[in-house]
Amino acid sequence: MSTRSLLSRLVVVGVLSVVVAVYVYAGCGTVTVTSVTPNTGPAAGGTSVTITGTNFISPVSVTFGGVAATNVVVVNGTTVTATTPAHAAGAVDVVVTNQGICGGTSGTLPSGFTYQAAAAVASPGPTVSPLGLAALAGILALVGALVIKR
């Protein structure tokens, strides 16, 4: 087989590969994000969420208020799981962006996740040491003895 014949076959195979790839992924539709479950979590992040929508094609990136999520997994074309990053308290947009052959297509769920501020820890109040209790008991006994003597 001549070099020219081999080269023409390689070109044909390459062109067919591109045509097949375009045909298979010609349906790169509009990405939509319809829900995030759960839709609230701590500002510290770390909440495992399930994102539903349409046209998710692996790989994807997910952001919460512009901050990248971790552990992003495309389960199928309508479901992605991820872990929320840390963020200031408040509602944020959730954005899913296809990265691969359909790169650049993204969908946004406005105010799709709400970060909650950490709850303030209440002080347990004043405490009394055992020595303080013993001193108080002694004082009360002395006062009691004086009252009884009168």
- pTM of the predicted structure, to 2 decimals: 0.65
Asked whether the bond before 38 is cis by omega within 30 degrees of 0, the reply is: yes
Range list of β-strands (E), the chain: 32-37, 40-42, 48-54, 60-64, 67-68, 70-76, 79-83, 90-98, 106-116
Q: How many Å apart are CA 23 and CA 93, to the nearest integer?
A: 33
pLDDT at 6: 60
The residue extents of the domains of the chain are 35-116
Q: Which CATH number fits domain 35-116: 2.60.40.10, 3.40.309.10, 3.40.50.300, 3.40.50.360?
A: 2.60.40.10
pLDDT at 103: 84
pLDDT at 100: 85
pLDDT at 135: 65
What single letter denotes the amino acid at residue 9? R
Q: pLDDT digits over 36-75, tens only?
A: 999 999 999 999 999 999 999 999 999 999 999 999 999 9
pLDDT at 26: 54
Residues of the chain with pLDDT under 50: 16, 18-24
